[in-house]
Amino acid sequence: MPLALAEKQLEVIMTDIQDNRNALPTGYRLNDYQIQKVLGDGGFGITYLANDTQLNAPVAIKEYLPNEIAVREGNSTVQPKSQKDTENFAWGLERFLEEAHILAQFKHPNIVRVLRFFQANNTAYIVMEYEQGQSLANLIKDGETATENEITRILPPLLDGLAVVHNAGYLHRDIKPANIYLRTADNSPVLISRTQRRLFASRH
């Protein structure tokens, strides 16, 4: 194996180890939720599959944890890496909560629903409905192609959901195949995000 490729693979492995180290452990109790596994992670945080212990129902939970400026201490508390990172961490946390408030306004069948959001462990969390299905990105990666009938079935409800966002004065900034899920139950589309980038920007 070429040295450059080996070094790249090692870098990926070390990144995964670091991400796992920053994730809440399986079984961790977060208020009324018990963490089950990681669904996705990115530069700004981690999304988990969890169980709502009150309702015995699955939920998705997004955690604010920007890995360039923050780290988890022990099994729970998130802290800025240094004093100079404190201001940026606080600013990002405020934006994260602001976005949770925006997303919680939308009650549309094709936009993932926010159930609640709260602060804990010196960071913040957004609890959303867990949508079971497959992303459009995975379908494309598997070599499948959408027929004209499928496209005309998927696009109108998504555009209807985006109209709700736009009419509220916001722009969705992360529309891509990875964030369009086709539900297992009825194959209907829903806009989700399992990365942690900011989704919404004001149109004003």
What are the structural domains, with CATH classification, of the chain?
3-129 (3.30.200.20), 133-202 (1.10.510.10)
The catalytic residue among 52, 142, 174, 186 is: 174
Predicted TM-score (pTM) of the model is 0.81
Q: Where are the beta strands (DSSP E) in the chain?
A: 29-30, 33-42, 45-52, 57-64, 70-73, 77-80, 114-120, 123-129, 133-135, 170-172, 180-183, 189-191, 200-202
Q: What is the pLDDT of residues 89-124, one digit of tens each?
A: 999 999 999 989 999 999 999 999 999 999 999 999
Structure tokens of 174?
């992360």
Q: How far apart are CA 55 and CA 140, in angstroms?
A: 35
Residue 195 has pLDDT above 80, yes or no: no
Token readout for 119 is: 């602060």
* Ramachandran assignment for 127, one of left (phi > 0), alpha (psi -120 to 50 degrees), beta (any other): beta
Per-residue pLDDT band for 13 (boundaries 50, 70, 90) equals very low
Task: pLDDT band for 12, please (50, 70, 90 cuts).
Answer: very low
Lowest mean pLDDT among 10-14, 98-102, 145-149, 167-171: 10-14
pLDDT at 176: 85
Tens of pLDDT, residue by residue over 123-142, are 999 999 999 998 888 888 87
pLDDT digits (tens, 9 = 90+) for 31-89: 999 999 999 887 789 999 999 999 999 999 999 999 999 999 988 999 999 999 999 99
**Active site (annotated) includes residue 174:** yes
